[in-house]
């Protein structure tokens, strides 16, 4: 049977669109109140979208990454924060699915995720390290057959609203900062003490506050593969592709508002196009470029995702890293172009064609793992590769 070219089809697409509609109704309230999008995630759980990536043998739907990316794209069109929270949940789900080996404890995590529709939060930054997720200060401590972890997490997005947290940590007290593991803790396993709030320009509904995390569990809650494998093989590619899909969703929503503005002007003026109409054409073309780039990177990742040598190659790591940089910057440009299309109506906060929330939200994209940090890290390794081979490279 030939598969549709639309990765999100049938029942899954209907469910995602239903949640997006709920998210859109509450997006303004979520943003203005800087509150968790509780209505959206009640709908996500009702539509049973949290476990779609989990294999069917564990109670999920076995959705592939392209399908999950399209759900992110759909949800972000309704509410940026809803899309981003959903993406971060799926990133951690992917890490467990791909690196659990034969762990009965982690199988239990996935089964509970599906049956109870548990929302997973991510904790990968702490202390003064900021965005350096490949370094952990707090170690896993072993005592009497159990493990404990105490870490000062500079950010745990939606931590107070999650049902479990998947966190990085040093493997042991005597391990190097880069010798890391990933651990899954259920809500009953940990306590969170607030360290700092989340009063930001955009993405306000992600509630990405800082916490002191104190957790206790069993050793089999540690994902078997070391984080130095999880990071390049799953964490980075999945994050960049799903984040990019969220940013594309924000850009698509802003472009749709620009289209609505033009149609309104044409209808009211007897067919006269507004001055910003050419900007809409530019936004639409750039949106197609962004979606095409993400689709291409998704295909490239899915083609090699089970080939450790290919995943570790300079070519792949450069491609997937630059996908994040290019997607984030192009999404900002698209939203800004949509704003120019709408002119003052887009600039106003009280207009039906307002772009202000979209712009504030998408401005998080270049600084979510700062693009300058990414490009600086790539610079040294890129010096080893040829600048260009052929036109097909």
- pLDDT tens for residues 76-109? 999 999 999 999 999 999 999 999 999 999 999 9
Average per-residue pLDDT for the chain: 94
Query: DSSP states of 95-108 as a string?
Result: HHHHH-TT-HHHHH
pLDDT confidence bin for 132, thresholds 50/70/90: confident
Residue of 163, 148, 145, 157 whose CA lies nearest to 215: 148
Domain 10-118's class? mainly alpha
The CATH code belonging to domain 121-221 is 2.40.110.10
pLDDT confidence bin for 184, thresholds 50/70/90: very high
- pTM listed for this prediction: 0.95
User: What's the CA gap between 165 and 215, in Å, rounded?
Assistant: 10
* Count of residues making up the chain: 393
Q: Where are the domains of the chain?
A: 10-118, 121-221, 227-382
CATH T-level fold of 227-382 = Butyryl-CoA Dehydrogenase, subunit A; domain 3 (1.20.140)
Residue-wise pLDDT for 294-347, tens only, equals: 999 999 999 999 999 999 999 999 999 999 999 999 999 999 999 999 999 999
CB 91 within 8 A of CB 231: no
Residue-wise burial string across 194-222, b where 16 or more C-beta atoms lie within 10 A, e elsewhere: eeeebeeebbbbbbbbbbebebbbeeebb
């Amino acid at each position: 049977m030939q598969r549709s070219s639309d990765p999100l089809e049938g029942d899954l697409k209907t469910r995602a669109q239903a949640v997006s509609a709920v998210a859109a109704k509450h997006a303004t309230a979520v943003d203005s109140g800087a509150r968790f999008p509780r209505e959206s995630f009640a709908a996500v759980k009702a539509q049973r979208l949290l476990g779609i990536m989990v294999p069917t043998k564990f109670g999920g739907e076995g959705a592939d990454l392209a399908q999950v990316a399209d759900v992110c794209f759909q949800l972000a069109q309704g509410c940026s924060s809803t899309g981003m929270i959903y993406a971060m949940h799926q990133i951690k789900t992917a890490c467990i699915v791909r690196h659990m080996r034969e762990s009965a404890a982690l199988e239990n995590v996935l089964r509970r995720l599906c049956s109870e529709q548990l929302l997973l939060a991510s904790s990968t930054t702490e202390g003064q390290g900021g965005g350096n997720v490949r370094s952990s200060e707090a170690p896993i401590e072993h005592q009497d057959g159990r493990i404990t972890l105490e870490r000062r997490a500079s950010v745990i997005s939606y931590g107070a609203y999650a049902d479990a947290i998947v966190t990085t940590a040093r493997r042991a007290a005597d391990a190097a900062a880069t010798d890391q593991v990933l651990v899954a803790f259920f809500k009953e396993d940990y306590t969170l003490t607030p360290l700092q709030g989340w009063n930001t320009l955009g993405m306000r509904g992600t509630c990405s506050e800082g916490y002191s995390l104190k957790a206790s569990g069993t050793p089999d809650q540690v994902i078997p593969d070391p984080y130095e494998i999880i990071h390049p093989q799953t964490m980075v590619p999945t994050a960049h592709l799903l984040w990019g899909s969220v940013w594309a969703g924000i850009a698509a929503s802003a472009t749709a508002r620009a289209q609505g503005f033009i149609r309104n002007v044409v209808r009211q003026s007897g067919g006269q196009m507004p001055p910003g109409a050419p900007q809409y054409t530019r936004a639409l073309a750039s949106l197609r470029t962004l979606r095409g780039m993400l689709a291409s990177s998704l295909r490239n990742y899915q083609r090699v995702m089970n080939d450790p040598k290919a995943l570790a190659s300079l070519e792949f790591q450069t491609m997937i890293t630059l996908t994040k940089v290019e997607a984030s910057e192009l999404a900002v440009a698209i939203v800004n172009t949509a704003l120019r299309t709408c002119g003052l109506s887009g600039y106003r906060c009280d207009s039906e064609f307002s772009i202000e929330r979209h712009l504030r939200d998408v401005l998080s994209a270049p600084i979510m793992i700062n693009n300058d940090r990414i490009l600086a890290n790539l610079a040294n390794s890129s010096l080893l590769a040829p600048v260009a081979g052929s036109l097909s490279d």
